[in-house]
A and B are shown apart, each in its own frame.
Chain A
Amino acid sequence: MAGPAASLESYSGTSGLAVSLRGVTKVYDSGVNALGPLDLDVRNGEFVSLLGPSGCGKSTALRLIAGLNAPTAGSVRVSHRADQARAGHSIGFVFQEPTLMPWANVRENVRLPLKLARAPAADANAHVNDALMQAGLSEFAEAYPRELSGGMKMRVSLARALATDPDILLMDEPFAALDEITRFRLNNDLLSLWRNLRKTVIFVTHSVFESVYLSQRVVVMTPRPGRLGAEIRIDVPERGEEFRTSAEYAAYCREVSHALTPLQSGRRGS
């Protein structure tokens, strides 16, 4: 499947899983019960969207998978290749905001994860150039973040996540702040990246249309505390502008919206 040396950390029996959450809850210091208990399995190479209204804990779930926060209870397991010392290196994270270093140009921003991992310079250069090309940024390598549009900044953020060649891409509403035209383009580019690189992608969004367009599986989450509401498989092999305007797409969107609506109204009801 993914890599020749693919191996799972402590549960080889269930091989093929990239991420596995079991009974995960998160209670913040303020006492807010943000998440769970949540069970979620994501297979290697799968594209999964976490969909839900704001405050449903989907970003929290992502941060737990990334290891940025520790769960209050339950277990978070992330597979990684045998040659990677830390699970963190097998993860690329794209934040809601581009989160770029304003004092460094595009190339240096993309190089950051490799620099922090103390990768050899020649190796790092090759990886950085690859990532820049994959994100369509080769011509902008020397530009500073302030000189770029919102969409381009997001591409830099994506290129940086790809620089370490991770197995898993975690994306936290990455395109939420962009205009629709830019978002469509980035959606298409992300899909072709996913198709070519065969990464596992967990994509957090609050857009029904985006989740249906991108993913193989939409996981609808309930608000406060975030739990699994519904799961909808999107069995469409070919995506593209044609799919976006098809009746099939509209039907899937309707199905996902329906799965979302009772959760929404239940929250507003009281």
Chain B
Amino acid sequence: MTSLETPRLSAEQAAPESRALRLVRILLPIVVLAGGIALWELVVRLNNIPPYVLPAPVEVFRTLIADWPVLSQSLLTTLLTTLEGFVAAAIGGVALALLFNQSKWLEYSLFPYAVILQVTPVIAVAPLLLIYLPQQTAVVVCAWIVGFFPVLSNTTLGLNSVDRNLAGLFQLYGASRMQTLRYLKLPSALPFMLGGLRIAGGLSLIGAVVAEIAAGSAGAGSGLAYRIAESGYRLNIPRMFAALLLLSAAGIVIYGLLALTSHLVLRRWHESALGKEN
């Protein structure tokens, strides 16, 4: 009898257990964060560390609020650059992937250069771009360079991952090239493309920041990374932390928005967006 009852009991317990587990997975990082901040505050206060060496968390938040007019303006500038770079990366990456898919010749001739563009560290390219291009353009180009490759390579992968039987079906019914692209290849590639865009969002922010840092010494910029560089020269360490905090938050929001978009687009059919009960 006991052996019969055991599985039923465990089955009933499974649901609340997994819910508790999910709660723990959310709570644990929060607890670690709170503990870390408390420890940081404590260390700074107990050792009387001056704010220009290491500002306490409370000091950072105070600076964030006090300097909000300056910082919010910089945040806006950086976000705008990121957005421009991201949109350019998305359009450029998808368009190039489509061209490559239509013409093998084009793919063979150009793909190596896309790789070279990707593997060359953008921080090394940025100073050159700043010489040859107007500063705002150079910053956007940097964001574009790092963002477009994941879109290109993921979309290419997606366009080449079409189900062979479905391709045969399209052939059987005499589908034209455009029809195959529109009704078969693009929908097949969509999950991959969205994955690429999700990476590109974060990378565009990095590209924008790198270009701003490189341009920072020129002193004409006003983005968040420029604020960090500028605050560094002035030993305004709390403001450096505050700007850094904003950059992290921006990265998290960008990733979250793109992940949400991807989920909403794919939720009706793609494995990645389906709940576990399916």
Contacts and interface: CB of A to CB of B under 8 A. Distances in A.
Interface of A: 63, 66-68, 86, 88-89, 91, 93, 95, 97, 99, 101-104, 112-113, 115-117, 144-146, 164
Given A68-B168, A145-B269, A146-B269, 15 more contacts: A67-B172, A68-B172, A88-B172, A89-B173, A95-B165, A95-B169, A99-B166, A101-B166, A101-B183, A103-B268, A116-B170, A117-B173, A117-B174, A144-B269, A146-B278
Interface residues of B, number: 21
B187 interface: yes
B274 interface: yes
B173 A102 contact: no
Interface in B225-277: 268-270, 274
B165 A144 contact: no
A144 B172 CA distance: 23
A112 B169 CA distance: 10
A114 to B, nearest CB: 9
A86 B174 contact: yes
A99 B173 contact: no
Interface of B: 163, 165-166, 168-175, 179, 183-184, 187, 190, 268-270, 274, 278
B173 A88 contact: yes
Nearest to A97: B165
The listed residue with most B CB atoms (<10 A of its CB), out of A67, A97, A113, is A113
B184 to A, nearest CB: 8
Contacts of A101: 166, 183-184, 187
Contacts of B179: 115-116
A102 B267 CA distance: 11
Contacts of B175: 116
Nearest to A99: B165
A66 B172 contact: yes
B187 A146 contact: no
A195 B168 CA distance: 28
A141 B93 CA distance: 36
7 contacts: A95-B169, A97-B165, A99-B166, A101-B166, A103-B268, A116-B175, A116-B179
A85 to B, nearest CB: 9
B268 A144 contact: yes
A125 B159 CA distance: 30
Given A68-B168, A101-B166, A103-B190, A112 B278 contact: no
Given A102-B270, A144-B268, A146-B278, A91 B172 contact: yes
Contacts of B169: 93, 95, 99, 112
Nearest to B278: A146
A66 to B, nearest CB: 6
A126 to B, nearest CB: 18
A91 B278 CA distance: 35
Contacts of A93: 169, 172
Contacts of A112: 169, 173, 183
A145 B163 CA distance: 15
Given A102-B269, A113-B173, A146 B274 contact: yes
The listed residue with most A CB atoms (<10 A of its CB), out of B163, B175, B187, B269, is B269
